[in-house]
Structure 1
C-alpha cells in the first residue's frame, strides 16, 4: 500500500479518468466525472484548492461533511450522480490496491425521484410539429426544412438521444428497401439497431438528396447531420434547431420544462407503450440499461388511461346511485 499522507488525490483522479476513457464513454460522461469529483474535492480542500488534498483527508467523516455542503444548493439527482462518481472512483482505487476499502458506505446517497417520462403534451402535437416544419419558413436566413424534419423524425420515430444523433454517420443507415435500419452508438458504449419504417426512410432520403444539392456527395463516414455550412452539427446547434422548430410550430407551451429534444424521444417511447409494446421491447429500442426505466413508460400510460376513464362524465352520474 502507498503512504496515504503523501498521495495527492488530484493525480489519482486523472488516473481514474484515463482508465475510464478506455471504455469509450461519451465526452459528457467524462466531463461529469471530472466535474463531480472536482466539486466535492474542492469542498474537502476547504478553499485551499483540490491539489492539496491527500488520501489521508478522505475519511467518511470528511466526505459526509463535503457532501452535505455539496447537497445544500443542488437537486437530489445531482447529488446522487456525484455520489456514484465518487463510489466509482474509490472502487477504482481499491482495485488498484491504493486503498484497502471504499469509504462511500459511510456517506448517505439520496434516493432518486421516481422516473417520470416527459413526452410532448397534446395528442396531436408531434403531427402538428412535423407539419409546421416541413414547409420552408421565409423568415429564416437559409431555410432547410428537409434537414429539420429529419432531425425531428429521428427522435420521434426512432427514439434517438441528442448524443446519438450527433454520432450518426451517413453509413449508419443501412439495409435493403423494406428492411432499413439505423445503427446507433448508444449511451455507455452500448450499440443498438433500430428498424426504420419506409416513411422515416423517405424523410432521411429527401434530406440526403437536399444535402447533395448543397454540398455534394457525402462519404459513409461523414456525419449524417450537418449545419447550413456543411459542418457536422454540434450539441448547441442541434439544441437550438429543435427549440426553433418548437417556436415555428407554436408548441413551446407543450414542451415539458428541461426536456427539449428528449421530449421527442419520450414521445416515441410513450406511444410505443400506448400501442402495446412491452418493457423489454421498449428497452431494446431505446437502449435503456435498466428494464425499470422502460417499465416507467408503461406505468405512465396506465395512469393516463385511468385519468381518461376518471374524466368520463358518466362516472359522476353514478355517485348518487
Structure 2
C-alpha cells in the first residue's frame, strides 16, 4: 500500500482517468469525471494548494464539509453525480491498494427519485415521424433522408443512446440474414449486442449505399455529415431536432428528452408488448434492473388509467 502522505490527489486523479480511458467511455463522460473530482479538490484546497493536496487530507470529515459547500448552489442530480464520481475514484484506489477503505459511505448524498420514462406522446407518432423524414424536404439545404431515417430508426428500433450512435462504425453490423445484430459500445464501457430485424437492416443498407454515392472521403465512422466528416454530438442533436420540426411533432416530444425520447419509446413499446425487466435491461444496456422496471410500472399505470376512464366503470358506480 502506498504512503498516503507522499501521494497527491492530483496525481491519483490522473491515474484514475487513465484507467477509465481504457474502457473507451465518451469524451463527455471523462470530462464529467474530471470536473466532479477537481471541483471538490478546489473546495478543500483553493487555488494552487490543490495541486499538492495529499490524499491523507481527504478524511470523511473534510469530504463531508466540501460536499456540503458543493451542494449549496447545485441541483441534487449534480451533487449525486459528483458523489458517484468520488465513490468510483475511491473504489479504484482501494482496488489499487492505495487506500485501505472507501470513505464515501460516510458522506451523505441526495436521494434521487426514479427517473420517469419520457417516450414520444401519441400512439402513431413514431410512424408519423419516420414517414415524414423519409421524404426529401426541398426546404433543406442538403437533404439526406436515408441518413436521417437511419438515425431515427436505430434509436426507435434498437434503443441506442446519442453517444452509442456516434460510436458506431460501418463494421458494427454483423450476422447472417435473419440473424443480424449491431455491436454497441455502451455507457460506462459496457458492450452489448442488439438484434436488428430485416426492416431496420434494410434501412441501414440504403443509408450505406447513399453514403457511398455522396461521400468520397474514407472513414469507418457510420454517421457522417454531407462533407464526409463524422457527426459530432451537437450536429446529431440538431439533426434529430430538425426531424421533429419537419414532421410537425415538436409538441409531442417531452421537454429535455429529444433523442432520448426515441430510446424511451423503444423501451416503452417493449414493455407494452410484454417484455420483462431483464429483457429490457439487456437490450438497452441498463446498469440496474430497477431502471428497466420503471418502464413496466409506467405501462401498468397507463393501462390502469385507461381502464379507469372506461364509462362502464363509472356506470357501475352509479348502481349503488
Give TM-score, length-normalised by structure 1.
0.92
Partner residue, 2:141: 141
Query: Which shows bigger deviation, 232-241 or 74-83?
Result: 74-83
The verdict on how the C-alpha distance between 1:120 and 1:59 changes in structure 2, with shifts beyond 3 A counting, is: same
Cα deviation per residue 1:116-145 (whole Å; 9 max; x = unaligned)?
111111111111111111111111110111
Counterparts of 1:217 and 1:4 in 2: how far apart (Å)? 51
Does the 8 Å CA contact 1:119/1:263 hold for their aligned counterparts?
Answer: yes
Equivalent residue, structure 1, for 2:43: 43
Report the counterpart of residue 83 of structure 2 in structure 1.
83
Quickly say closer, same or farther: Cα 1:23–1:176, change in 2 above 3 A. Answer: closer
Query: Residues 178 and 4 (structure 1 numbering): CA distance in 2 closer, same or farther, change over 3 Å?
Result: closer
CA distance in structure 1 between the aligned counterparts of 2:90 and 2:282, rounded to whole angstroms: 31
User: Kindly tell me: are residues 172 and 250 of structure 1, through their superposed partners in 2, closer, same or farther at Cα, counting changes over 3 Å?
Assistant: same
In structure 2, the residue matched to 1:232 is 230
* 8 Å contact kept, 2:217–2:228: no
Question: How far did residue 173 of structure 1 move?
Answer: 1.8
Aligned CA distance change for structure 1 residues 55 and 193 (closer, same or farther; 3 Å): closer
Q: CA deviation at 1:50?
A: 2.8
Structure 2 match to 1:280: 278
Give 1:257 deviation, angstroms: 1.7
Aligned to 1:170: 170
CA distance in 2, matches of 1:96, 1:194: 34
Matched, 1:269 2:278: no
Partner of 1:196: 196
Instruction: Report the Cα distance in structure 1 between the residues aligned to 2:3 and 2:183, rounded to whole angstroms.
Output: 48
SS of the residue corresponding to residue 318 of structure 1 reads helix
Counterpart-to-counterpart distance in 2, 1:178 and 1:281: 20
C-alpha contact (below 8 Å) 1:77/1:113 kept by paired residues: no
> What whole-Å deviation, never above 9, does each CA across 1:166-192 have from its counterpart, x for those lacking one?
111112222333222212222222222
SS in 2 for 1:157: helix
Q: TM-score, normalised by structure 2?
A: 0.93
2: CA distance between counterparts of 1:173 and 1:102?
41
Equivalent pair of 2:119/2:264 in contact (CA under 8 Å)? yes
The answer to whether structure 1 residue 250 and structure 2 residue 279 are counterparts is: no
Q: How far off its partner does 1:2 sit?
A: 5.4
CA distance in 2, matches of 1:122, 1:68: 43
Gaps of 5+ in 1: none
Preserved contact between residue 216 and residue 228 of structure 2 (Cα < 8 Å): no
Aligned to 1:107: 107
Deviations 1:224-275 (A, max 9, x none): 1111111111111111100111111111121112211111011001001101
Q: 1:217 to 1:99 in 2, by over 3 A?
A: closer
Secondary structure at the residue paired with 1:183? Answer: strand
Give the drift of 1:52: 4.4
> Would the alpha carbon gap of residues 93 and 280 (structure 1) be closer, same or farther in structure 2, given more than 3 Å must change?
closer
Q: Structure 2: which 5+ residue stretches go unaligned?
A: none
